[in-house]
């Protein structure tokens, strides 16, 4: 079978033939029908994260169950599923206290699984390696969804939509009438914009370094697009009575943009970091500033979501028309075109490219 593989930091991504093992007793084989190209995948390529190589990229996907192990009870062949890159164990300390997104048994950037065509041990991104024709995963890593849900939309529920909607609803707790600034308008950032607007936030200020993102921001529900330049802080305060926003949601994962979000937030407001950055990119905040501003700074891991609960909920919302994700998909391609999708993402172009293997 074919998959998108990277062999070293900074190396070109390329389609290769790989071999996956047969499903074990509690595992399933899924035929991937759609997979999103996410910024986390780019982080595996450019060295922001440093997993073992060679590595099959991809962790945001949907497909059809092709084969199941003899002990599988969750799905059967033919079931349409969304892949879950962070399946909780349900019995660790975090899971038992209702925080499955912090499960202590998940979070490894890669998992050994299968071999290359030349026999090298192979790793897969976040336990999935979903930019491939097929994956073999534990049954806990698949979430059944209605067959009428389009695959390319279902794929987004596994990462960008779940993360963005969860950051608004579950981490930040955005309420009607709150003001919100969203820093960084990739797939996750645009999902945050849409969820904030749906929560009744006003204004919803969408911020990016690229003026080309303005149209996407408005399509997602932003009340206004602002360019991330030296005038941003003043522009935000002009639109919030001089105070700053109630909520700033950072979707880039850089110290500079986290500080931008901090400065855009009012005293007593909340800064929610969704972007995953490098371990040596240090955020510097003054001790007096922290005390005087009374702001809250926290991260949102996987949208503080329980995928088994929240993915089916989002799927129902898509099918009943209360959640529109069509604006997120700006490009479609095949595995052979996925390398260019990574290049577009590195240039900050578009929102989500969906690969249709």
Does residue 188 lie in a domain region? yes
Q: What is the pLDDT of residue 305?
A: 96
Does residue 229 lie in a domain region? yes
Q: What is the pLDDT of residue 107?
A: 67
- Average pLDDT value for the chain: 94
Any residues with CB less than 8 A from the CB of 132 and at least 6 apart, and which?
1, 2, 3, 4, 18, 32, 35, 56, 58, 335, 357
What are the E-state strand segments in the chain? Answer: 2-6, 14-19, 27-36, 55-56, 60-68, 80-83, 110-116, 121-125, 134-138, 142-144, 180-183, 204-208, 224-227, 245-250, 265-273, 296-299, 329-333, 352-355
Any residues with CB less than 8 A from the CB of 60 and at least 6 apart, and which?
35, 36, 37, 38, 83, 85, 130, 155, 156, 158, 159, 160
Same domain, 153 and 279: no
State which of 264, 285, 301 marks the end of a domain: 301
Same domain, 126 and 205: no
Is the pLDDT at 57 greater than 90? The verdict is yes
Does residue 313 lie in a domain region? no
- Tens-place pLDDT, residues 223-268: 999 999 999 999 999 999 999 999 999 999 999 999 999 999 999 9
Same domain, 153 and 9: yes
Does residue 310 lie in a domain region? no
Same domain, 150 and 15: yes
Q: What is the pLDDT of residue 347?
A: 85
Same domain, 182 and 241: yes
Same domain, 13 and 133: yes
Q: Quote the domain boundaries for residue 285.
A: 164-301
Token pair for residue 184? 């960084």
Is the pLDDT at 39 greater than 90? The verdict is no
Does residue 316 lie in a domain region? no
Does residue 306 lie in a domain region? no
- Tens-place pLDDT, residues 66-94: 999 999 999 999 999 999 999 999 999 99
Same domain, 81 and 102: yes
- Tens-place pLDDT, residues 209-226: 999 999 999 999 999 999
Does residue 314 lie in a domain region? no
Exposed, middle or buried, 17 (CB in 10 Å: 0-12/13-18/19+)?
A: exposed
- Tens-place pLDDT, residues 284-326: 999 999 999 999 999 999 999 999 999 999 999 999 998 888 8
Is the pLDDT at 145 greater than 70? The verdict is yes
Q: Give the total number of structural domains in the chain.
A: 2
Contact 277, 299 (CB under 8 A): no
- Tens-place pLDDT, residues 154-163: 999 999 999 9
Same domain, 229 and 82: no
Task: Please state, for a pLDDT cut of 70, what percent of the chain lies above it.
Answer: 100
Same domain, 128 and 186: no
Same domain, 340 and 271: no
Q: What is the pLDDT of residue 10?
A: 83
pTM: 0.91
The domain spanning residue 216 has which CATH number? 3.40.50.720
The length of the chain is: 357
Does residue 319 lie in a domain region? no
Contact 121, 23 (CB under 8 A): no
Same domain, 124 and 176: no
State which of 301, 317, 334 marks the end of a domain: 301
Task: Please state, for a pLDDT cut of 90, what percent of the chain lies above it.
Answer: 85
C-alpha R_g of the chain = 20
The domain spanning residue 67 has which CATH number? 3.90.180.10
Same domain, 231 and 265: yes
Is the pLDDT at 109 greater than 80? The verdict is no
- Tens-place pLDDT, residues 332-355: 999 999 989 988 888 888 889 999
Is the pLDDT at 29 greater than 90? The verdict is yes
């Amino acid at each position: 079978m074919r998959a998108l593989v990277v062999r070293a930091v900074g190396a070109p991504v390329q389609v290769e033939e790989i071999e996956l093992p047969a499903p074990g007793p509690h595992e399933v084989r899924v035929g991937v029908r759609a997979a999103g190209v996410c910024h986390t995948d780019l982080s595996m390529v450019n060295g922001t994260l440093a997993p073992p190589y060679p590595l099959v990229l991809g962790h945001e996907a949907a497909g059809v169950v092709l084969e199941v192990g003899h002990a599988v009870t969750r799905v059967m062949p033919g079931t349409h599923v969304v892949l879950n890159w962070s399946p909780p164990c349900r019995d660790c300390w975090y899971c038992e206290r209702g925080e499955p997104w912090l499960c202590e048994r998940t979070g490894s950037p890669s998992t050994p699984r299968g071999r290359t065509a030349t026999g090298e041990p192979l790793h897969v991104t976040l336990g999935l390696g979903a930019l491939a024709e097929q994956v073999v995963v534990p049954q806990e890593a698949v979430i059944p969804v209605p067959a009428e849900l389009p695959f390319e939309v279902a794929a987004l529920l596994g990462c960008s939509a779940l993360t963005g909607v969860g950051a608004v609803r579950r981490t930040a707790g955005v309420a009607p009438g709150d003001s919100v600034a969203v820093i960084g308008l990739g797939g996750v950032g645009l999902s945050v914009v849409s969820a904030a607007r749906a929560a009744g936030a006003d204004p919803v200020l969408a911020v990016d370094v690229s003026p080309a993102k303005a149209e996407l921001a408005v399509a997602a529900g932003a009340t206004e697009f602002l360019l991330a330049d030296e005038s941003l802080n003043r522009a935000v305060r002009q639109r919030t009575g001089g105070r700053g926003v109630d909520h700033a949601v950072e979707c880039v994962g850089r110290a500079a943009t986290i500080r931008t979000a901090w400065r855009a937030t009012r005293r007593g407001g909340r800064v929610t970091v969704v972007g995953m950055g490098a371990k040596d990119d240090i955020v510097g905040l003054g001790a007096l500033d922290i005390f005087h501003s009374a702001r809250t700074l926290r991260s949102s891991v996987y949208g503080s979501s329980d995928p088994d609960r929240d993915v089916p909920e989002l799927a129902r919302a898509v099918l009943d028309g209360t959640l529109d994700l069509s604006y997120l998909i700006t490009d479609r391609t095949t595995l052979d075109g996925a390398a260019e999708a990574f290049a577009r993402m590195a240039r900050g172009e578009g929102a989500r490219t969906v690969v249709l293997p």
